Structure 1
Amino acid sequence: MFAARVDAAPHWPALLDAAELGALAARARDWVHAPTPLEIHEHHAGDWPSTALGRGLDFEEARPYAPGDDLRDMDWRSTARLGHPFIKTYREERLPICHLVLDRTATMRFATRRRLKVAQAARVLLLAGFAAMDAGMAVAATAWDERDLWWPARHGEGAWLELAQSLIAPCPPPLQLQAATHADAHALQRLNHLAQELPAGCHVWLASDLVWLGERTAPALARLAHRRRLRLVRVLDPVETGWPALGAAGVEDLATGARHWLGGQAALNERLRRANAERLAAQDALLQRHGLRAIDVATPQDGLLSTLGPHG
């Protein structure tokens, strides 16, 4: 992805301001979450006891009676067979965790209209986070950056607002450019780490431009989606779906530091448009091959519920 060079500044604003945070919180309350059936092995997934689902119906074990146990749980068959009172215990139902993954790498710090791709990705994840908090879920997060950050699952409004502030921290152009040849290797490591650490049943929202998606990383995405609810949000700038009709423009590849002159000729503009369309189509085909799909969100898009609502 290309972007014009921006000189470093001593102070950079947060990706979103307080007004935008408030607006996202209000919209999240309008996000209707229909009950989603889970597979049988996901009934007890997650690290947080449910405040609404009860103690569960699936039998765990029979153990000797202890003072204070509920007599309604008495296991009469075991009691009669062994001659001592036994109690049936059940698995406690648990709420799944919502884990947000924000791509803050070099190519996400780009925009031609309205807002940076990373800012739009943050808006998507914060909307999902507010909705998860309203549903009583614990929220955790990961930020892919020059130094990756991981925030463990926390519960409650205060903890979530603190996490939200961390996700929208300033995101200036990188001082050190990452070699493009290493981007997919880093993404592979990150995806494998998520697949190892996140429990079954976890709700995962990953917002990125997916420039790292390829034959090596797609299977890792599929492993992450196995026994988890993965929503993959692909953030696109309008220039990625159609090069504007303007003169030649000097641009810099934020992944490699290479500089190029693009545009200025109708034939070249059409080639760029076609190349971008082919790249996105190849990504879609690769995802489909692994049973996945991306939710596309454009950087100028203000209303997100119409796009994300069906996937909540």
Structure 2
Amino acid sequence: MNAFVNLDSEGDGRTRVRLDELVALRSRVAKAALPRLESRALHAGQQGSRLYGRGMDYAESRIYQPGDDVRRLDWRLTARSGRLHTKLFEEEREGRLLILLDTHESMRFGTRVRFKAVQAARVVALAAWYVVRAGERVGLMEFGDGHRLLRPQGGPKGALAVCGALVDWDARRQSSRGESLSNALQRAGRLMHGTNRVLVVSDGLSCDEAAKGRLLDLTGKADVRVLVVADALELGLPPPGHYPLEHKGERREVTLFGERQRREFQQRLGAGQQRLNAIAQSLGVPHRTIDTAADPLDALLALLALLAPGARR
């Protein structure tokens, strides 16, 4: 279902994703007073280990032992001490965030400011800039419109790749029957490859009965966050009036005046976000909900930041 907006141009930032807007969000993140991140942190319960090898950060030097790589000899310490010493290196544990982006047709709906799909793209772009600023890698996986995947990359190049993919995927919409959230979560579990954090961005309408079990499974592999994007009509009782809507090119007008009629309409529209939030709540997965008119930065920072002791999830 698409809310009718009388706009002719593509990439308007309301019905279609704009690349310049996504790139400009970098300055928002750069100016924000960011809380401490879970950067380069292992999943809860795991202990860091010192691993040594080529191409890693220098840790210390020790007496040479048979089998040590002679190319790693510490010649200065060897000269001072008169005994062979080998340089040891500590692995830099680089955090990786995989973002699961809902691209179902239901995301192309909006009655305030922009479509849910455009708001979701803004969330993803902000997350990408946030993560690479912390020295982490960011990857992107879509579910719904297709199975496209962007492998995790670091630095500004990684965030720009995410922004480019968002615009490209939005413009090159594929014919698809959709994908359940449970299947997407299962697929993500097979694509982890060192990922230690996952952010799910969805309106929840693809949330099925099996999603709770799949989400629980994923929390055993990574630190999971959920951000629900919803329209104002999905979050509260719509005011009385006439609502022009569009679905697959067909325009219709819905008339809502009676309180019961308006409540039933809101409950049908908001069923997805209610299910997804309820599942996240039951599993203790940190989650936030934003509407299409909101500035998503604060909600996103609250999800991705390391929660302070005693903070409520």
TM over 0.5: yes
Q: Deviation of residue 222 (structure 1)? A: 2.0
What's 1:28 paired with?
Answer: 29
Distance of aligned partners of 1:252 and 1:220 in 2 relative to their CA distance in 1, 3 Å threshold? farther
Paired amino acid for 2:36: A
Distance 1:263 1:50 in 2: 65
Please tell me whether residue 164 in structure 1 is matched to residue 167 in structure 2: no
- Rounded to whole Å, the distance in 2 between the matches of 1:126 and 1:132 is 10
Provide the identity percentage: 19
Alignment of 1:13-24 (within 5 A): 13=11, 14-19=16-21, 21-22=23-24, 24=25
| SS of match in other structure, 1:111 | coil
On the 8 A contact 2:204/2:228 being kept in 1, the answer is yes
Structure 2 vs 1, CA of residues 217 and 8 (structure 1 numbering), >3 Å: closer, same or farther? Answer: farther
Count of residue correspondences: 279
Paired position in structure 1 for 2:302: 310
Task: Select the residue among 278, 281, 292 that pairs with 1:299.
Answer: 292
Question: 2:300 is matched by which residue type in structure 1?
Answer: L
Shift of 1:31: 4.6
2:229 maps to amino acid: V
* Structure 1, unpaired ranges of 5+: 73-84
- Are 2:196 and 2:223, in contact at CA under 8 Å, matched by a contact in 1? yes
CA contact (8 A) 2:146 2:176 kept: no
C-alpha contact 1:101 1:204 (8 A) present in aligned 2: yes
Q: Cα distance 1:308–1:8, how it changes in 2: closer, same or farther (>3 A)?
A: closer
Equivalent position of 2:80 in the other structure: none
Say which of 212, 225, 228 aligns to 1:231.
225
- After TM superposition, the structure 1 stretch with the greater mean CA deviation from structure 2, 196-205 or 215-224, is 196-205
Q: Tell me, which stretches of 5 or more residues in structure 2 are unaligned?
A: 76-83, 306-313
**Displacement of 1:160 after TM fit?**
2.8
Worse overlay, 293-302 or 260-269: 260-269
Q: What SS does the corresponding residue of 2:300 show, helix, strand or coil? A: helix
* Partner amino acid, structure 1, of 2:291: A
Which residue number corresponds to residue 99 of structure 2? 100
Q: Partners in 1 of 2:69 and 2:22 — Cα distance?
A: 54
Change (3 A) 1:282 1:191: closer
Deviation at 1:21, TM superposition (A): 2.6
Q: TM-score, normalised by structure 1?
A: 0.73
Structure 2 length-normalised TM: 0.73
Q: Which amino acid in 1 is paired with 2:264?
A: R
Q: Which amino acid aligns with 1:41?
A: Q
Report what 1:143 is aligned to. Answer: 142
Q: Deviations over 1:236-276 (max 9, x none)?
A: 1001012422334464667xx99884523233113334556
1:200 and 1:228 in contact (8 A); partners too = no
Q: Map Cα deviations across residues 175-209 of structure 1 (whole Å, 9 max, x no partner).
A: 8574xxx642xx33221111111135522222110
Distance 1:253 1:163 in 2: 29
Structure 1 counterpart SS, 2:241: coil
Structure 2 Cα separation of the partners of residues 211 and 141 of structure 1:
20
Q: Which position in structure 2 is the counterpart of 1:114?
A: 113
**Mapping of 1:1-312 within 5 angstroms?**
2-4=1-3, 12-13=10-11, 14-19=16-21, 21-22=23-24, 24-29=25-30, 30-36=32-38, 38=42, 39-41=44-46, 43=48, 54=57, 64-70=67-73, 92-169=91-168, 171=170, 178=177, 183-184=179-180, 187-249=181-243, 251=245, 261=254, 263-273=256-266, 280-302=273-295, 304-311=296-303, 312=305
